Amino acid sequence: MRTVFDLLGDKEDDATYSLGWALAQSERLGRALLQQAYGTLTPDERVEGVRLQQSVPGAGRTDIEVETHERHLILEAKRGWELPGVAQLTQYARRFETGRAPLLLVVAECSSAYAAARLPPAVDDVGIRYLPWQAVAATAAGIAAQPGTPHAEKRLLREFVRYLKGLITMHDPRSNMVYVVSLGTDDLFGAGISFADIVVRHDRYFHPVGGGRGGWPRTPPNYLGFRFDGRLQQIRHVERVEVLDAPWDLLPELAGRTDWERAPHFSYELGPAIEPPHAVRTGKMWPNGRCWAAIDLLLTSATVAEARDRTTVRLDDAGA
């Protein structure tokens, strides 16, 4: 065990308990978190309570609640790039009572740009803010480094920071990379289906296993991005992958109708579509070009080419 927090484990609830314990033991961390979430805090405002996983019928179970005499913050903690849905946040918004300023704070591993594209600014007039785990770790480390922080609190916060850095994937610049491909919209073999239809209608995709000519990946990506009609249409998480010699035979429209060479192909089952919040045009790329790009940059850039280039700079800066 590297830290006392490792005794809890590395699951999502474990990270929640660890943050809750750190907040309960360090009022400085609680005030700093409130300051980041609300943007302001009165000088005499103190953290009066930290509650973990409180359940209310019809209003869900919260992860962490932090309260002062003026504010009531509900914090939803997530592992990875998963974010809570609007329905879940709307349930939490019913928990607030009049008299204190309400706020919903989401903590996860994704970038702030990605979260801004996926989270609404408010639900039921309750504001929503986002903070990456990296920022939480940096805040705790900063408090631990302050001369006025008591030694016991310093030790606890430093262990909390070490725990977070070993737990989350924020240090891996290649996490959540998307392999972006171009899809044709022409009818295949008179079968009434196109490559775009294979993705959109059947939630499937396939391509040759890499290693030969063509530049296809040697290992299957976690995310695939699909562009057609001149822009990025959607991003899909790969739910399942297998290697098949003729994956098109799984599609009723194409079974037995193609003249494609049978060879090892990655055959993907795709998760729900993530659609860009604005039009992401192709940019300066070959019409059938393929590329890698970070998921947050794809969703916040004007073009796929821009996201590709910004990803290259990010990886170069990280030495990856």
Distance CA 92, CA 58 (A): 9
Predicted confidence at residue 28, as pLDDT, reads 95
d(CA 226, CA 180): 6
Give the residue-averaged pLDDT of 52-72. 87
- pLDDT number for residue 82: 73
**Span 218-274, pLDDT tens digits:** 888 889 999 999 999 999 999 999 889 999 999 999 998 999 999 889 999 999 999
Per DSSP, helices labelled H in 146-255 are 151-167, 195-200
Neighbouring C-alpha atoms within 13 Å toward the C-beta of 174: 5
How far apart CA 204 and CA 187 sit, in angstroms, is: 17
Cα–Cα dist 34/72, whole Å: 9
pLDDT band at 34 (very low <50, low <70, confident <90, very high): very high
pLDDT at residue number 171: 46
Residue 170 has pLDDT above 50, yes or no: no
Q: What is the mean pLDDT of residues 111-130?
A: 88
* Average confidence (pLDDT) over 61-79: 93
Task: Answer whether 12's CB lies under 8 Å from 77's CB.
Answer: yes
Q: Which residues of the chain form beta strands (DSSP E)? A: 49-52, 64-67, 71-77, 101-108, 122-123, 126-132, 177-182, 204-208, 223-228, 231-244, 265-274, 291-294
- Token digits of residue 122: 């408010």
Nearest to residue 316, comparing CAs of 199, 173, 216? 173
Q: For residues 75-102, give the mean pLDDT.
A: 88
Of the pLDDT bands very low, low, confident and very high (cuts 50, 70, 90), residue 65 is: very high
The predicted model gives 183-211 an average pLDDT of: 94
Which tokens in the block code for residue 50? 């930290």
Specify the pLDDT at position 249. 94
CA atoms of 161 and 172, how far apart (whole Å): 17
Q: What was the pLDDT predicted at 214?
A: 74
Q: What is the mean pLDDT of residues 287-309?
A: 94
Q: What's the pLDDT at 197?
A: 97
Domains of the chain, CATH where assigned: 4-167 (3.40.1350), 177-318 (2.30.130)
Q: How far apart are CA 290 and CA 166, in angstroms?
A: 33
Q: Which pLDDT tens digit goes with each residue over 3-26?
A: 777 666 667 788 899 999 999 999
Distance CA 234, CA 186 (A): 19
In this prediction the pTM is 0.58
